[in-house]
Structure 1
Amino acid sequence: MRLVSYCILLLLSSVFSAGRAVALPPTQEIIFAINSPGSPPYLYFDAQSQSYQGVVVDFFASFAGEANLNVTYLDSSRARNELLLHQGKADMFLSGEEWLDDPNGFIFSKPLIQHDSYLYATTAFDGPFVPAESNGETVCTRFGYKYPVLQAAFENKEHPLIRVDSASQTLMALMLTKGRCDYAIMSEQNALSVLNKRQFCNNEFYQSPNIISSISLVLVIRAGRQELLPIINQYMAGFIRNGQLSRSIKRHSGEHQFPKLVCD
């Protein structure tokens, strides 16, 4: 009788323990604003799957089930993202703190990825690019984006660097191939994804020998979602530590390098 009672107690204990183990926290709804149409490998619209893909999507997918998160991606623009957070219409977006118009009132995650920007051209560089020595060259840029390191050159009347805005990195690359600008500026990860697209198979692209700017990309979170910060930082540390971040970047950027030559 004692053995039966003991077995029943063990069984009940196991049931209750299992119930506690699978219990999920209340569902957390997150609205993530995107600089539409996004930019690979970070976050971009994939025409084939008709959904957003990229490092950010992979990051949230790595723990959404465990943390009971439901992430909705909202088409926006860099110019509107801050306003959407202030209005409570979105919860977060990916950015560098240096790019924000008003960083006060936001919460910042730990850095997710380092955003190293280079200049790209259709001919090889003679040496390092020095913005202060520019002389009327044109640079394809993304509309609404800030380029703090180049801003002084954009405003320099003696040695001007002329900014030519475009709606996406793909259009920037297209303008570069057509001679609409001398250079295009983008992060190395962006460039590896965009400049190796099939539509640019017959074009060559060269990377400047020097980094133009280096900025840590973080998740910018609205003040009203303070409870998300420790969760995001915890899982972000694991995402980076166990190699998921590097694998995600490689998957969305491809196995490429510069110079990018004409396809075989």
Structure 2
Amino acid sequence: MISKFLLSVIFMHALWVIGPAEALASESKALVFVVNSPGSFPYLYYDDVQQKYSGLVDYFFLEVEPKGFPPVVFVDSNQLRSEQFVIEGKADLYLANVGWLQRPKLTIASRPFVSHKTFLYSIEPFEADFSLSNTVRGRVCTHENFVYTGLEFYFANSNLVRVDSSSHKAMASMLKSKRCDFAVMNDYNAMEAFSTDEFCKTSIYQSPEPTSTVDLTFVMRPQMQALKETIDRLLVEFISSGQLDAKLASYPNIPDFPKKATCL
């Protein structure tokens, strides 16, 4: 059985060798959507049971396909490469906040798709009046290559120190072992990372307020202005109809903090 990663490598190699136009034609005019693997629940994540990418993004594109929208193919990537692939025409779309982009002037973005909240997490309770401006110094477990909109100022001024790791699971383990004072994640990632048996004896606390609340959009090349306008129109219909909220509410494990210890 060929692994998901190997299939992604083969597909991306085809894009490089025969060019994006020919590759898309071979995929029945499919649009290539690059994903910062393994994605982020519930927006777009790899479902091990179904062996494919699933989530709000996949649901949206499946809903609009009967209206004549092209099919979408999801391909593994990472945060640094995704932007480059879109700019170079090796991919068509990816999900991001424009504030995370290194070269935003070389891309265009759709209307907001969904709101994305990021919080700090600790194994000690936060003070009721906790705020970043009152935090003198601390080590923050971060995901390597990730941009944290609400924390960049504090990282730059050394009030907070980044401690990079390769995954949210590793960040959570480092927080538990006190290798950092805080971990920074969106609430869904935190719920997943701290729900394993490793943390059954550990209470996890969430900062009273998010460090940032940003809009996630579909990022694409400026030459795809017509596609952007189509996506914008479909997004208005999709969101105003209540389909987005209904799908979001259907997911289990809605984040709920503090997460108290569940075993002795």
Q: What TM-score range do you get, normalising by the shorter chain?
A: 0.7 to 0.9
Query: 1:215 and 1:233 mapped to 2: Cα distance?
Result: 18
Alignment of 1:53-72 (within 5 A): 53-72=54-73
1:41 is matched with which residue?
42
Query: 1:32 and 1:173 mapped to 2: Cα distance?
Result: 29
Query: 1:32 and 1:128 mapped to 2: Cα distance?
Result: 41
- Equivalent pairs counted in the alignment come to 236
1:185 is matched with which residue?
184
Letter in 1 for 2:155: F
Is 1:144 paired with 2:138?
no
Alignment of 1:36-115 (within 5 A): 36-115=37-116
Is 1:30 paired with 2:2?
no
Question: In the alignment, is the contact (CA less than 8 A) between 2:61 and 2:71 conserved in 1?
Answer: no
Letter in 2 for 1:190: N
The sequence identity of aligned pairs, in percent, is 35
In structure 2, relative to structure 1, the CA distance for the partners of 1:203 and 1:49 (3 Å cut) is farther
1:18 is matched with which residue?
none
In structure 2, relative to structure 1, the CA distance for the partners of 1:80 and 1:110 (3 Å cut) is same
More displaced 10-residue stretch of structure 1: 70-79 or 133-142: 133-142
Question: In the alignment, is the contact (CA less than 8 A) between 2:150 and 2:212 conserved in 1?
Answer: yes
Letter in 2 for 1:126: E
Question: In the alignment, is the contact (CA less than 8 A) between 1:122 and 1:176 conserved in 2?
Answer: yes
Residue by residue, what CA displacement relative to the aligned partner does 1:99-131 show, whole Å, maximum 9, x if unpaired? 111111212111011112111112211134433
Unaligned segments of structure 1, at least 5 residues:
1-26
1:120 is matched with which residue?
121
Question: In the alignment, is the contact (CA less than 8 A) between 1:91 and 1:221 conserved in 2?
Answer: yes
Residue 69 of structure 1, CA deviation: 2.0
Residue by residue, what CA displacement relative to the aligned partner does 1:17-53 show, whole Å, maximum 9, x if unpaired? xxxxxxxxxx642111111111111111122222111
Letter in 1 for 2:210: I
2:165 is matched with which residue?
166
In structure 2, relative to structure 1, the CA distance for the partners of 1:193 and 1:235 (3 Å cut) is farther
More displaced 10-residue stretch of structure 1: 123-132 or 47-56: 123-132
1:262 is matched with which residue?
261
RMSD of aligned C-alpha atoms? 2.2
Letter in 2 for 1:113: V
Residue by residue, what CA displacement relative to the aligned partner does 1:149-185 show, whole Å, maximum 9, x if unpaired? 312221224xx31101122323322322232221111
In structure 2, relative to structure 1, the CA distance for the partners of 1:59 and 1:200 (3 Å cut) is farther
More displaced 10-residue stretch of structure 1: 46-55 or 61-70: 61-70
Query: 1:201 and 1:247 mapped to 2: Cα distance?
Result: 31
Question: In the alignment, is the contact (CA less than 8 A) between 2:87 and 2:220 conserved in 1?
Answer: no
- Secondary structure of the residue that 2:183 maps to in structure 1? strand
Query: 1:132 and 1:97 mapped to 2: Cα distance?
Result: 24
Query: 2:117 and 2:260 mapped to 1: Cα distance?
Result: 21
Letter in 2 for 1:165: D
In structure 2, relative to structure 1, the CA distance for the partners of 1:162 and 1:119 (3 Å cut) is same
Question: In the alignment, is the contact (CA less than 8 A) between 2:188 and 2:254 conserved in 1?
Answer: no
2:25 is matched with which residue?
none
Unaligned segments of structure 2, at least 5 residues:
1-27
Question: In the alignment, is the contact (CA less than 8 A) between 2:31 and 2:70 conserved in 1?
Answer: yes
Question: In the alignment, is the contact (CA less than 8 A) between 1:119 and 1:183 conserved in 2?
Answer: yes
Residue 193 of structure 1, CA deviation: 4.1
